[in-house]
Amino acid sequence: MPMLLNPREKYAPFQPLELPTRQWPSKTLKKPPRWLSTDLRDGNQSLVDPMSAQQKLQYFRTLVSIGFKEIEIAFPSASSIEFDFVRGLIQNGEIPDDVTIQVLTPCREDLIRKTIESVHGAKKAIIHLYNATSPCFRRIVFGASKEATVELALTSTKLIRQLTKDSDSKTHWTFEYSPETFSATEPDFAIEICSKVLEAWDPSESNAIIFNLPATVEMSTPNVYADQIEFFHTRIPRRAEVCISLHAHNDRGCAVAASEMGQLAGADRIEGCLFGNGERTGNVDLVTLALNLYTQGVSPNLDFSRLHEIKRICESCNEIQVHPRHPYSGELVFTAFSGSHQDAIKKGFEKRKEGDIWEMPYLAIDPKDIGASYEAVIRVNSQSGKGGISWIILQTLHLDLPRRLQIAFSKVVQRSAETLSRELSGKEIRGLFQREYYFDEKIKLKSYSFTEENEKKNIKAVIERKEELVELAGQGNGALSSLVDALNRHFDLHLDIREYSEHSIGAGSGVKAASYVELVNGDDIHWGVGLDPDIVGASLRAVISAFSAIIGEPLADLNLSSNRVSGHAKKIPGKAEEVIAMA
């Protein structure tokens, strides 16, 4: 039997550079970077089927509407689709004056010429040149020495300079150079090659050269990348004429952290893709980076206030779905199913006043800032508790349930969720509530009147069930107790009120009263809910609602004069499925 190699023995640890002078760990992010979207280049080149021209155009317009001012639109020498797309944008006047397009080229003369030809007539363009600089690539991919690697970059830079800023073209040219595989390149060599490219291009402060320092593959922990960036930032000559750009891939899942730490370490610009699309595990997610800034009180200068729509467009163009747990944009990221989370969020919303600093249990940002409603925040399944369930009732029916009613109703919902083994929708929960507490209005309060006698209230009421009218009469200290007395006398019951509360719904002429009554009849306990424009009417209806549940059967089927209704209150008549089907 051959011995299995322990995979650990296959890998050598990445050697971080020594940087005892590092400053970045004690810094914080205070301003947004320059953003570049490479969705239409790095994102596009990694798709199973690259986007059609139509899809690229839709994507481009979306990026512009978000507010991107620098957009890498293509690798023009790759295919006629890419080349023609660039031409189309320019010729059809699709590029706003404040947007600069960027195109990528390798260090090959024919491909450089084709790339520059593609942007002919553009008002502003960034020509982005790359060659790999790490020992692994020099040795394995190019078979090239350091000198040859520098020479390749220099020859290409000079050619680009000659064809662009030294030409009589009217385009405003910016140059970007990427030492591809920077994250695996010797830091001194990265400085050496970039310094030579810098001299060859000879930028100015007003039109800086962009050095894009990619973590083409993430090699180590994000702090190691940040050290590499700070090393570069503090040693590259003519720093004022240099823009340091980051281009982090996500092989180890740390691209966001690496890009944030890289900014602390001195970077000015970020390249990435929406929702983290891009080669392999993707480029850094620009949505996450931008919205992370919001949570620190920094405006990213990108508009994600309609994130759902942006996501839909990207999913259709990339033909890749955004994961439901993806930060900020995933379908489930603002949703709490579990009881204690729901309870905390409900309390957070109750205590929050308009204009307060956002301080919400479990919610990093206000869903409204990305165009999401609060409806998805609380969803109910068998792990949910009273807090979340009563929040849904408050949001949808405007009923602010008393605590003991919350507990009672959450048991009803819990049973349904367990029976169905799935989430219940808001509509289903509303249906259960109406079914349980309005009792389908099987027994209705038709009319009532009061007279006073010796500080007591006498009630005469008529209730109806299936067109049968029943006249009741009773006496009590108040309206509720007189109706309870009338029901007890007529149906030979021992009803008593254990708890009562009320509140108004709405304001002005449309105001309504909501009343909640907990009735006890021996072992049977049930809540009733009443709604009426009048507070007394709402209270009486709440009593009838609880009474209906306690007797648990249609009124006509009772032996009205003698039989006590026995057994427990009827909570959910029939199976949960039937109730939900009725809701």
Ligand X SMILES: CC(=O)SCCNC(=O)CCNC(=O)[C@H](O)C(C)(C)COP(=O)(O)OP(=O)(O)OC[C@H]1O[C@@H](n2cnc3c(N)ncnc32)[C@H](O)[C@@H]1OP(=O)(O)O
Provide the binding-site residues for ligand X, judged by CB under 6 A.
42, 45, 75, 77-78, 106-108, 111, 130-131, 141-142, 180, 216, 279
Minimum distance of Mg ion from residue 431's CB (angstroms): 51
Nearer to ligand KIV, 104 or 125 (CB): 104
Does 180 sit near ligand KIV (CB under 6 A)? Answer: yes
Q: How far is the CB of 156 from ligand X (least distance, A)?
A: 7
**According to the binding rule CB under 6 A, does residue 526 interact with ligand KIV?**
no
The DSSP element (H or E) to which 71 belongs, if any, is: strand 70-74
Distance of CA 472 to the CA centre of its chain: 56
In the complex, minimum distance from the CB of residue 277 to ligand KIV, in angstroms, rounded to a whole number: 13
Query: Binding to ligand KIV by residue 37, rule CB under 6 A?
Result: no
42 binds Mg ion (CB under 5 A): yes
Q: How far apart are CA 338 and CA 350, in angstroms?
A: 18
Q: DSSP class of residue 435?
A: I
Alpha helices for 421-499 (secondary structure H):
426-433, 479-491
Closer to ligand KIV by CB, 87 or 128: give it: 128
178: partner contacted, choices Mg ion, ligand X, ligand KIV, none (Cβ within 5-8 A by kind): ligand KIV
Residue 78 binds which one of Mg ion, ligand X, ligand KIV, none, with CB within 5 to 8 A depending on kind? ligand X
Query: Over the Cα atoms of the chain, what is R_g?
Result: 35
Phi and psi torsions of 317, nearest 5°: -75, -40
Residue 174 host element (H or E): strand 172-180
Closest CB to ligand X among 258 and 546? 258
Alpha-carbon span 359 to 293, nearest angstrom: 16
d(CA 85, CA 272): 20
Q: Is 216 in the site for ligand KIV (CB under 6 A)?
A: yes
Six token digits for residue 102: 């960027």
Instruction: List the interface residues with ligand KIV, window 99-128 (CB under 6 A).
Output: 104
Q: In terms of residues, how long is the chain?
A: 583
Instruction: Output 136 or 141, the one with its CB closest to ligand X.
Output: 141
The reply on whether position 271 binds Mg ion by CB under 5 A is: no
What residues form DSSP beta bridges with 445? 463
Please name the amino acid found at residue 274.
L
Q: Which is nearer to ligand KIV, 283 or 384 (CB)?
A: 283
Task: Please identify which residue in 39, 42, 70, 436 interacts with ligand KIV, judged by CB under 6 A.
Answer: 42
CB of 306: closest distance to ligand KIV in angstroms? Answer: 28
Under 8 Å between Cβ of 32 and 301: yes
Name the one residue in this structure whose structure tokens are 């030809």.
Answer: 117
Out of 130, 232, 328, 437, which residue is the one contacting ligand KIV (CB under 6 A)?
130
Among the listed residues 87, 124, 138, 249, the single contact to ligand KIV using CB under 6 A: 249
> Looking at 102, 149, 212, 220, which residue binds ligand KIV (CB under 6 A)?
212
Nearer to Mg ion, 181 or 548 (CB): 181
Q: Which is nearer to Mg ion, 249 or 386 (CB)?
A: 249
Q: What CA–CA distance (Å, rounded) separates 478 from 222?
A: 71
Please report which helix (H) or strand (E) contains residue 496, including its range. Answer: strand 495-505
Alpha carbons 382 and 337: distance in angstroms, whole number: 9
In the complex with ligand X, the residue whose CB is nearer, 318 or 414, is 318
Q: Interface with Mg ion by CB under 5 A: which range of 34-42, 141-149, 195-203, 479-487? A: 34-42
The C-alpha atoms of residue 405 and residue 66 are separated, in whole angstroms, by 46
The item of Mg ion, ligand X, ligand KIV, none sharing an interface with residue 141, based on CB under 5 to 8 Å by kind, is ligand X
Q: Which stretch binds Mg ion (CB under 5 A): 36-44, 97-105, 288-296, 305-313?
A: 36-44
Q: At what angle do helices 255-264 and 286-295 cross, to 10 degrees?
A: 60
**Contact stretch for ligand KIV (CB under 6 A) within 12-20, 210-218, 395-403, 450-458:** 210-218
The C-alpha atoms of residue 310 and residue 277 are separated, in whole angstroms, by 14
Tokens of 42: 């790095």
- Name the 3-class secondary structure at 211: strand
Work out how close the CB of 262 gets to ligand KIV at its nearest, in angstroms, rounded to a whole number: 14
Amino acid letter for position 83: F
| Contact window for Mg ion (CB under 5 A) among 23-31, 40-48, 306-314, 553-561 | 40-48
Pairing, β 124-132 against β 524-532: unpaired
**CB of residue 36 vs ligand X: minimum separation in angstroms?**
14
SS3 214: strand
Q: Which is nearer to ligand X, 78 or 219 (CB)?
A: 78
Tell me the one-letter amino acid at 169. S
> Is residue 178 a contact point for ligand KIV (CB under 6 A)?
yes
Q: Least distance from C-beta 319 to ligand X, angstroms?
A: 18
Residue with tokens 């690496």: 258
CB atoms within 10 A of CB 428: 21
Interacting residues with ligand KIV (CB under 6 A): 42, 104, 130, 178, 180, 212, 214, 216, 247, 249
Residues that bind Mg ion (CB under 5 A): 42
